[in-house]
Structure 1
Amino acid sequence: MHKSTTKQTIRLLISILVPLIVLMMPSSWIPIAQLTVVQHRLLAIFIMAALLWVLEPVPVFATSILIITLQLIFLSDKGLNVLRIDHTNEAFGHLIPYTDILGSFSSPIIILFMGGFALAIAASKYQLDNNLARVLLKPFGSKPKFIMLGLMLITAVFSMFMSNTATTVMMLALLGPIVASAKPGDLGIKALVLCIPIAANTGGIATPIGTPPNAIALQYLTGEHSIDFLTWMMFGLPFVIVQLAIAWLLLQKLFPSEQTHLQLALEGKFLKSWQAIVVYITFAATIILWITTKLHGMNTYVVAVIPLAVFTLTGIMGKAEIKQINWDVLWLVAGGIAIGLALDKTGLAKGLAHSIDYQSLSPVSVVLTLSIICWLMANFMSNTATANLLMPIAAAIGTSMQGLASIGGLQGLLVVVAFSASLGMILPVSTPPNSLAYSTGLINSKDMAKTGIILGLFGLGIVYTAMFVLT
């Protein structure tokens, strides 16, 4: 116990001292051109957040609350007077409206999570999770590794055509009865939990509509550089299959199960009470509405409010069920949103992206540099925001640098950047599927970081190998 406390104290000191050193360091020492005072402060907060999330000396949701608090005090237009005394000076930088920072907790993503939690709570209450597990996982047998394979394949296929977050919500609903049949403390439980966000994050890469970075890349691939749906799948799907196979083997290695068989409750029947029927209809309708957003015009976030309204109005979710919502996870996600917002609003993310002179690099170096920067940034901010930031830079370089033709040209560059954005998944705040998996309480951030780093590097390696072999 004493050793554990000492380790936590050391981690906490590191997480505080390193950002303080960065904050006291002269801006001229930091390799980012024309770093403003506000950006310098944010850089220190960003480093502190990264260290606290990875080392976890305090709960991750506490880190998120600290981030929002520090941003309000040091970076907002309603922070301490003494910290905004020179805010009209151009070198000081742009302060963030305090309402934008506080708005992180009312982001559409937060509403999406609440809708997801409502579906999961109602599904568990009326045994829909047990029945779905019985139907969908029966073909995969009772061995933990094959149950995990089933979860990954089902998740990946759904995430190719619908929101990764919505897919994760649906699949985590199946996890309850599976975990209940495992021995408490079995490492294999962690593998079963982690496989769902990994498959959701990876599966979306296979199609142009599977994840926002892919769609953003296609905006810049027009005319002679355009890629159609089937062509994208021809290189996206093989990558997903290989990456999922690696993830499946890696999870078995990192988190081996103590059991050779899981006795799943594969017998049973759907409940027929009116409340259960309302849950079935609402669950199915929500999934269908998520899949068909282009037909009816409501986006994923608007659809997520529907189950909340239906379940509370019908009494399926009362006060007791509302308290079951993982509020700590909502704070965790809000902190990640706040960091991404500040990186964008202060211009620090743009400064980091432009801090390298890409024109002085060789074509191969340009691709590798943009890809690695994209992957690193996507681990700490929305992969959509990262792609929005880096894709214009990549497109501009791709159209002006002749030597890129030898490694796929503009198409190759933008596809690599899009794939790299989707591979950023080392922290609970990296992607909504990660946050949802973390909300189960069955894994910690170190498990996610270890797996995410290895899979991210493997994924980048596969992308680079394919780029050189196929061009």
Structure 2
Amino acid sequence: MSLLVTLVKKVWCIKRFLILVVTPLVLCPVLLSLPPKEGKCLFVVLLMAFYWCTEALPLAVTAMLPIVLFPFMGILPSSKVCPQFFLDTNFLFLSGLLMAAAIEEWNLHRRIALKVLMLVGVQPARLILGMMMTTAFLSMWLSNTASTAMMLPIANAILKSLFGERPNNKSVKVEAGPVAAPENKLHPVPTELQLLTRTEEKDLPEKMEVSIDVAGEKDAGKERDYQNRVWKAFLISIPYSASIGGTATLTGTAPNLILLGQLKSFFPGCDVVNFGSWFVFAFPLMILFLIIGWLWISLFHGVISFRCKNKKKSEVRLDAEAKAREVISEDYRKLGPTIFAEKAVFFFFCLFAILLFTRDPKFIPGWASLFSPGFTSDAVTGITISIILFFFPSERPSLSWWFDLKAPNTENKPLLSWKKAQETVPWNIILLLGGGFAMAKGCEESGLSVWIGGRLQPLEGLSPALAVLLITILIASFTEFASNTATIIVFLPVLSELAIRLKVNPLYLMIPGTVGCSYAFMLPVSTPPNSIAFSTGHLMVKDMAKTGLLMNLMGVLLLSLAMNTWASSIFGLGTFPDWVDLHLHNATALASALHNVTAGG
């Protein structure tokens, strides 16, 4: 028995190596059961999908496999594979990351977060709403992971200022000791329980003292339970709102950009999806989901309730909230007055957003109409602003400096340095995007997309509205266990061909599939924000599963509602567009050419 246990442990230690070696062997029958070129492409797609799901290799390393496998297997030449890693979509994503790096460099995101919290108030339900709104807004421009990592310490410090140190789940003491000030200098205020137990009791009769202790213990238990639920509601709301907020802009999360890139690959004539049109569709959906999600989290965890019936107890809690409000205000004051660099970054951030919205808004001519058609894109706008950040001074230029001989002759620091960009930009995600675009190009050129479409004939009788619902449920469930980026890379080619079989606009299925893969709320491993919140040690898997199950369901239903209402008019989903006919013509010509080559061979 001990020998078997030892053997299992050794196998577990080399599990990644075994996956790397065994997976290609298991997939070999794919090469024999399909036409040569389609079989080879499907082999690579399944191999990458399995490596992504198991993380046998780092995600970015798996994304580079097409550079090696496509040329060697005769699927695509290197001259067509490598450019997919630096499409204009990748540069749009890079520009968003550089803007986020500048915002983080000058602490503008923290000022925004604290200002919002000062405005919403410190009652737990309002604080949760403020946290969710702030996290979602930051996640529209920063990465979901960075937004969560920044907001969780703020939430933790505010909770300590309201309730003191959170008691351990296993052994809870009635009286909490003094709490050490956290790193961000938010000082805790006494808990309501501590304030209640400070009353003078030494002069009371012995019998009365016993009865107060019993009642106090009962109230203490209720208060500890309330505090525990508030802690969980806070910690769980932040990663959820980060995932929701990332869907509102094209640069907010990688799957949105993968959709844009694969649309350009499969349907070059499709020009209805850009930064502005996506925002008009996704921002109302984000707001609606945030409000409903806030209500659900607050009700499920008992944050919204009528607990404070005792007037004295209510006054104590109000006093604690007033002190917490003062703590937040003090932390905001410690940021000091707004400096020139913050104002400059905020200006360029607004300019970045405005130029992206107005480039080609469709309903009116955008500034792109001033240039030759096809010469400008969202990437041009983003990189233009990003380049300015690298030379624009972080201190106000002064004309008197030229005439002041005693002024220090030091070089003015720019808003963003390349060193900061290297440290903060997740370059692995850019490679992951490139891998997805290379995979899509391989599916198109090899004829695999056409072959997949031929296998989807049994689904042709499916109602489009039902198809949207089923697809969103499937992808939202799948992404609970796999990277959302890897998930959408694998599913988008299938969804595009399914839409053609159903005779509907491909966007009608591809958009809900893309947004749905960000709706992963049930497990800690689903998304990096979930993992960060879970790593605090205050949440259990069942906490996330119970809250996240209904969040997933609400997301699916709201997304289905959006696709059948306002998204239909924004993207023209009620018609079968001309750019699909062009794709079908090219696909038919490619299939005919492949058939002739095979027959001639």
Q: TM-score range by the shorter chain?
A: 0.5 to 0.7
Q: Aligned partners of 2:110, 2:562: CA distance in 1, in Å?
A: 41
Matched, 1:423 2:423: no
**Of the candidates 331, 341, 344, which is equivalent to residue 444 of structure 2?**
344
Residue type of the alignment partner of 1:62:
V
Residue type of the alignment partner of 1:317:
L
Q: Aligned partners of 1:306, 1:59: CA distance in 2, in Å?
A: 32
Which residue is 1:23 aligned to?
A: 28
Q: Aligned partners of 2:560, 2:341: CA distance in 1, in Å?
A: 52
**Of the candidates 100, 104, 128, which is equivalent to residue 120 of structure 1?**
100
Matches within 5 A, 1:236-251: 241=288, 245=292
Matched, 1:392 2:522: no
Q: Aligned partners of 1:21, 1:350: CA distance in 2, in Å?
A: 24
- Structure 1: runs of 5+ lacking an equivalent: 29-34, 85-94, 159-164, 205-209, 221-228, 255-259, 399-409, 428-433
Offset at residue 11 of structure 1 (A) = 5.2
Residue type of the alignment partner of 2:110:
N
Q: Aligned partners of 1:251, 1:51: CA distance in 2, in Å?
A: 38
Offset at residue 389 of structure 1 (A) = 4.4
Matched, 1:322 2:327: no
Offset at residue 344 of structure 1 (A) = 2.9
Matched, 1:290 2:356: yes
Q: Aligned partners of 1:347, 1:452: CA distance in 2, in Å?
A: 39
Secondary structure, counterpart of 1:201 in structure 2:
coil
Q: Aligned partners of 1:422, 1:144: CA distance in 2, in Å?
A: 30
Change (3 A) 1:439 1:423: closer
Which residue is 1:169 aligned to?
A: 142
Change (3 A) 1:43 1:20: farther
TM-score (norm. length: structure 2): 0.50
* Larger Rg, first or second structure (1 or 2): 2
| Alpha-carbon contact 1:191-1:251 (below 8 Å) kept | no
Residue type of the alignment partner of 1:61:
A
Matches within 5 A, 1:110-189: 110-141=90-121, 149-150=129-130, 152-153=132-133, 167-169=140-142, 177-181=150-154, 182=156
**Of the candidates 362, 366, 391, which is equivalent to residue 313 of structure 1?**
391
Matches within 5 A, 1:352-367: 352-358=452-458, 362-364=461-463
| Alpha-carbon contact 1:387-1:421 (below 8 Å) kept | no
Offset at residue 287 of structure 1 (A) = 1.8
Matches within 5 A, 1:394-409: 394=502, 396=503
Q: Aligned partners of 2:60, 2:142: CA distance in 1, in Å?
A: 20
TM-score (norm. length: structure 1): 0.61
Secondary structure, counterpart of 1:44 in structure 2:
helix
Q: Aligned partners of 1:321, 1:269: CA distance in 2, in Å?
A: 21
Offset at residue 326 of structure 1 (A) = 2.0
Change (3 A) 1:146 1:57: farther
Secondary structure, counterpart of 2:415 in structure 1:
coil
Residue type of the alignment partner of 2:140:
T
| Alpha-carbon contact 2:245-2:286 (below 8 Å) kept | no
For residues 341-388 of structure 1, the C-alpha deviation after alignment (integer angstroms, 9 at most, x for no partner) is: 3233323234223312247x6545x76557646865993328876665
How many equivalent residue pairs? 384
Matches within 5 A, 1:200-215: 200-201=246-247
For residues 100-130 of structure 1, the C-alpha deviation after alignment (integer angstroms, 9 at most, x for no partner) is: 3212321223212221222122112222111
Which residue is 2:70 aligned to?
A: 75
For residues 222-275 of structure 1, the C-alpha deviation after alignment (integer angstroms, 9 at most, x for no partner) is: xxxxxxx9xx98x99689735874598589999xxxxx9997644456755544
Change (3 A) 1:453 1:44: farther
Q: Aligned partners of 1:372, 1:13: CA distance in 2, in Å?
A: 34
Q: Aligned partners of 1:292, 1:465: CA distance in 2, in Å?
A: 27
Which residue is 2:408 aligned to?
A: none
For residues 268-290 of structure 1, the C-alpha deviation after alignment (integer angstroms, 9 at most, x for no partner) is: 56755544433222112112222
| Alpha-carbon contact 2:52-2:62 (below 8 Å) kept | yes
| Alpha-carbon contact 1:423-1:459 (below 8 Å) kept | yes
Matches within 5 A, 1:244-283: 245=292, 265-267=331-333, 273-283=339-349
| Alpha-carbon contact 1:39-1:346 (below 8 Å) kept | yes
Offset at residue 152 of structure 1 (A) = 4.7
Residue type of the alignment partner of 2:354:
I
Which residue is 2:378 aligned to?
A: 300
Secondary structure, counterpart of 1:48 in structure 2:
helix
| Alpha-carbon contact 1:133-1:177 (below 8 Å) kept | no
Residue type of the alignment partner of 1:425:
S
| Alpha-carbon contact 2:148-2:532 (below 8 Å) kept | no
Q: Aligned partners of 2:16, 2:124: CA distance in 1, in Å?
A: 35
For residues 283-330 of structure 1, the C-alpha deviation after alignment (integer angstroms, 9 at most, x for no partner) is: 121122223222322543222102321121233222421321222222
| Alpha-carbon contact 1:108-1:301 (below 8 Å) kept | yes
Offset at residue 195 of structure 1 (A) = 2.7
For residues 32-79 of structure 1, the C-alpha deviation after alignment (integer angstroms, 9 at most, x for no partner) is: xxx332322222222232222222243322322xxx23x233322xx3
Secondary structure, counterpart of 2:140 in structure 1:
helix
Q: Aligned partners of 1:120, 1:152: CA distance in 2, in Å?
A: 19
Q: Aligned partners of 1:363, 1:369: CA distance in 2, in Å?
A: 6
Residue type of the alignment partner of 1:100:
K
- Structure 2: runs of 5+ lacking an equivalent: 1-5, 158-181, 183-230, 251-255, 264-268, 271-276, 302-320, 361-365, 369-375, 393-413, 479-484, 535-540, 565-601
**Of the candidates 58, 68, 85, which is equivalent to residue 105 of structure 1?**
85
Which residue is 2:61 aligned to?
A: 62
Secondary structure, counterpart of 1:316 in structure 2:
coil
Residue type of the alignment partner of 1:423:
G
Q: Aligned partners of 2:441, 2:298: CA distance in 1, in Å?
A: 33
Q: Aligned partners of 2:139, 2:562: CA distance in 1, in Å?
A: 30
